[in-house]
Chains A and B, each alone.
Chain A
Amino acid sequence: MSVPMSVQLRLEDDWFEVCDRARLQPGRGIAALLPDGRQAALFIDRAGRAYAIDNRDPFTGAAVLSRGLLGTAGGRPFVASPLLKQRFDLETGRCLDDDSVTVETHTVRLA
């Protein structure tokens, strides 16, 4: 029997266990509460790669990036904010629609 995998985030020098792998649905995100009160948005793509970025949408201030849709642009994965639709690169956090804006990213693993 296989052990269910969990989704873990790198926080300082420890791995923080967020939830079961099964809670992540390809193409959609979920929000997680970090120990210091910040929020992370976690995603998994159709190939099974997981990503995590800050959940706060820098354009509106609302904590909603986990509720955006995933996509691919120029071969790179992004999430589009559900509020005003700006897209963020899931690996670098860079906003594809405004060079001057970046959100924080987290290292994530499935273990």
Chain B
Amino acid sequence: MPTDTPRHSAAQGTIVLVGHGMVGQRFLEALAARGLTDTHRVVVLCEEPRPAYDRVQLTSYFSGRTPDELSLTDPEFIEQHGIELYVGDPAESVDRDAKTVTARSGQTFAYDTLVLATGSFPFVPPVPGKDTTGCFVYRTIEDLLAIEEYAKTYAKTGAVVGGGLLGLEAAGALRGLGLDTHVVEFAPRLMPVQVDEGGGAALLRTITNMGLTVHTGVGTQEIVSTEGAVSGMKLSDGSELATDLVVFSAGVRPRDQLARDTGLSVGERGGITVDEQCRTSDPAVYAIGECALASDGRVYGLVAPGYEMAETAAATIAAEESSFTGADLSTKLKLLGVDVASFGDAHGTSEDCLDVVYSDSRSGTYKKLVIGPGGELLGGVLVGDAEQYGVLRPMTGSVPPISPEQLVLPAGAGAPVALGPSALPDSAVICSCHNVTKGTIRGAVTEHSCTTVPEVKKCTKAGTGCGSCVKVLGQLVNDELEASGVEVDKGLCGCFGQTRQELYEIVRTLGITSYRQLLDAHGREAARGTEGCENCKPTVGSIIASLAPTIGADGYVLDGEQAALQDTNDHFLANLQKNGSYSVVPRVPGGEITPEKLIVIGEVARDFGLYTKITGGQRIDMFGARVEQLPLIWTRLVDAGFESGHAYGKSLRTVKSCVGQTWCRYGVQDSVRMAIDLELRYRGLRSPHKLKSAVSGCARECAEAQSKDFGVIATSSGWNLYVGGNGGATPRHADLLGQDLSDAELVRLIDRFLMFYIRTADRLERTSTWLERIEGGLDHVRDVVVHDSLGICDDLEALMADHVAHYRDEWSETINDPERLARFVSFVNAPDVPDPTVSFVPERDQIKPDLPLLSIGSRPRDLEGAAS
């Protein structure tokens, strides 16, 4: 029975939208922006059990984004514009003569304008066994829920069929779920559509290094099952791959069935044929997004062109001039830890084009730029280092201000100052997902008075798609604010308008020893007298601690008000783990340890049932201690001569060493002794971020000193000092600060360097980022700490001397003081009852946290039972 009762005035007729995906939602917004929702009745048929969500960011579900957070649909928006949204009710048929659409529920809707935005479905190659239990596709939230559920219970190994953009994203997700993951790609290289051969080779190395196994040049011939569930797959080279789970990611196909059934014209290889206004062969029917075959003969599998089509269709309905004639296919991979981007004419198919290639297979970097005959940038492929994507992509089509050779050279290898977004013209498209130009972003600041990146995002939509432009966006917004004289708030947080460096100077010169005193006298007006916040408390705590002996504060971080400022790790002098237990890391200076001490660690770990692991910092971590066990554990460790390793503090971690001259046939200095000396000198030093160091006995560099905040390499006549190195997420090789130094010169230079860093760095800024940020960079730092250009070196050395003289081990101070021990209880009113949620299960002869115990009741309710 037709239930066709309009809820509000529909003076100009009814628009029915079929498909509430990313493009459908954008179309509704485009209608609303043109006032069409006021003049028309708008009906939306949505097939999925939830309204439109961000499919592009789907994989972020595995890094903790909930389905709710992925949503693109604001219920208020739907309500306000009187849109009738039918969730879980797909359109089943269209009668173009009667101009009606019938939904699965039986409802029929008359339309004046019909818009199809039905997207795509994942293509599953017709291999035998493709429907076996354990086979999945990767397109919707429901797909992900099902994969997660199955992986948890039934799978140790997973295979992805298809090594394209989505296949690699899916493979990254399987890896993240703890599966041993394989990628099977028919083409001879990964991401064959986006990258060329050289890029594919670099990508392969990176992906393999991430622990994925890649099989290229082979097809999938059959899915093998055991007792009705997937157990493996047969490949075209005759081999068989054992796997418990298969994800098909072999491309997508437009969902054009509805259109076919009602006789609309479709392309030979699928896709609903549309003209430049996105009208199908029936002028009352539009098709937009992935289901449409655009007038340039292509089906676009990216969201940006879909958004443009949505705008075009809405504009055409509003009788405005608009057309969609094609779009660019730039992409940046969102896979964690892999930097891959391609843009413009990545394969160099334009006539007379030339390429400039930089390739370094040692570091897995490959960069190619395609240059037109007139020197204009046509496109490119970046693998291993896609840092420049944000500025290069918008430059496509124009002649870059510096030569292409210089553009591909890595920083530090003769490349001039990095090319910033300021070099781009106003017409450059910064955000390709939403087609936002540099001019529009600048306008948001100058005309619409946006003063922050979130405001600009809201105002222009830039940066709200794949996110790959956010970095450049931030730079542009700051440039623009500065240019228009608006002061960019560089304050530490909502409580303090000063930077960390300014606060350090205030504390030092005024001798302020209390956080409250600092907040009430120097905080922002509104923050005075409040509790402060979780950002400035530990920062100020750290500043006071690193200046403690000099300003006369108590260096012990757990006394008085200081205790209330510390992050939980510092507060309990241990590292909090995911289930609320702690890890214990005693200091092992330089990584050198006696057998007796090793035995003590073994005994303590055994007696308290702790999980033990050798860390990447040349010492031993014991995990799984309950808060009330910490003092007992440490009593034993302190008795045996151990002290805190400060694995929890923003302070010196380890000074790693290689075995050096004493044993090694190549060694030229005693690297172990130097590492121990340095570790004992700087232990406990509170700093803006953690500090790491290493000492190598010769240029072979077995201790990896060049990846440390301060690294030392022996020479035949002394020591070379390198600073500003970093491992972690953004590795940086350290820069040489001093050469052939004697022991005393080395220590003096490190003292100055560290104290200058502590004085001037921002909160959570490692020496690497600090060196790159401060004005003048390394040269300035060298002037200050080597040539004493500011005349502060005596000061810096005196500060360090104070630190060294006043160092006390935090753990022995703690276990000898009943009052301090009082905080190490599970419950204030039941100190002997262990927290029942901290529990462990066995794994590989040791323990691991019992996570299912924690998850009881923790899943958002709308997920329960949603997985099929």
Binding site for B on A (CB under 8 A): 18-19, 23, 25-28, 30-33, 37, 39, 42, 45-46, 56, 58-64, 67-73, 75, 77, 80, 82-85, 87, 98, 100
- Docked Cα-Cα span, A56 to B530, in Å, equals 25
Decide: A68 and B576 in contact? CB cutoff 8 A: no
Binding site for A on B (CB under 8 A): 64, 66, 68-69, 494, 516, 527, 530-534, 537-538, 561, 563-565, 567-569, 571-572, 576, 578-580, 822-823, 826-830, 833, 835-838, 851, 853-858, 860
Q: Residue of A at shortest CB range from B577?
A: A62
Residue among B66, B561, B569, B828 having the largest count of chain A Cβ atoms under 10 Å: B828
Residues of A within 8 A of B823 (CB): 30
Given contacts A33-B829, A62-B578, contact A73 B564 (CB under 8 A): no
- Docked Cα-Cα span, A9 to B828, in Å, equals 13
Main secondary structure, interface of B, reads loop
Decide: A64 and B858 in contact? CB cutoff 8 A: no
Decide: B494 and A67 in contact? CB cutoff 8 A: no
- Docked Cα-Cα span, A70 to B535, in Å, equals 10
Decide: A26 and B564 in contact? CB cutoff 8 A: yes
In addition to A45-B531, A58-B858, A75-B530, 11 A-B residue pairs with Cβ atoms within 8 Å of each other are A25-B563, A27-B537, A28-B563, A32-B829, A39-B835, A46-B531, A61-B853, A61-B855, A62-B837, A71-B531, A73-B533
Nearest chain B CB to A11 CB, angstrom units: 13
Given contacts A18-B828, A31-B827, contact A61 B576 (CB under 8 A): no
Decide: B527 and A72 in contact? CB cutoff 8 A: yes
Task: Return the contact of B494 from the options A45, A61, A73 (Cβ within 8 A).
Answer: A73
Residues of A within 8 A of B822 (CB): 23
Q: Residue of A at shortest CB range from B580?
A: A62
Nearest chain A CB to B594 CB, angstrom units: 35
- Docked Cα-Cα span, A64 to B826, in Å, equals 10
Decide: A87 and B534 in contact? CB cutoff 8 A: yes
Residues of A within 8 A of B830 (CB): 32-33
Decide: B494 and A25 in contact? CB cutoff 8 A: no
Task: Return the contact of B836 from the options A28, A37, A72, A82 (Cβ within 8 A).
Answer: A37
Residues of B within 8 A of A56 (CB): 837
Decide: A60 and B854 in contact? CB cutoff 8 A: yes
Decide: A32 and B855 in contact? CB cutoff 8 A: no
Q: Residue of B at shortest CB range from A70?
A: B531
Residues of A within 8 A of B855 (CB): 61
Nearest chain A CB to B15 CB, angstrom units: 31
Decide: A61 and B837 in contact? CB cutoff 8 A: yes
Residues of B within 8 A of A77 (CB): 531
Residues of A within 8 A of B826 (CB): 31, 33
Q: Residue of A at shortest CB range from B515?
A: A27
Given contacts A67-B568, A67-B571, contact A72 B532 (CB under 8 A): yes
Nearest chain A CB to B855 CB, angstrom units: 5
Decide: B532 and A33 in contact? CB cutoff 8 A: no
Q: Residue of B at shortest CB range from A23?
A: B828
Residues of B within 8 A of A72 (CB): 527, 530-533
- Docked Cα-Cα span, A40 to B262, in Å, equals 62
- Docked Cα-Cα span, A27 to B537, in Å, equals 10
Q: Residue of A at shortest CB range from B858?
A: A61
Decide: A19 and B567 in contact? CB cutoff 8 A: no
- Docked Cα-Cα span, A67 to B569, in Å, equals 9
Decide: A64 and B568 in contact? CB cutoff 8 A: yes
Decide: A82 and B854 in contact? CB cutoff 8 A: no
Residue among A33, A73, A77, A80 having the largest count of chain B Cβ atoms under 10 Å: A33
Residues of A within 8 A of B579 (CB): 61-62
Given contacts A46-B516, A62-B854, contact A19 B829 (CB under 8 A): yes
Task: Return the contact of B537 from the options A19, A69, A73, A75 (Cβ within 8 A).
Answer: A69
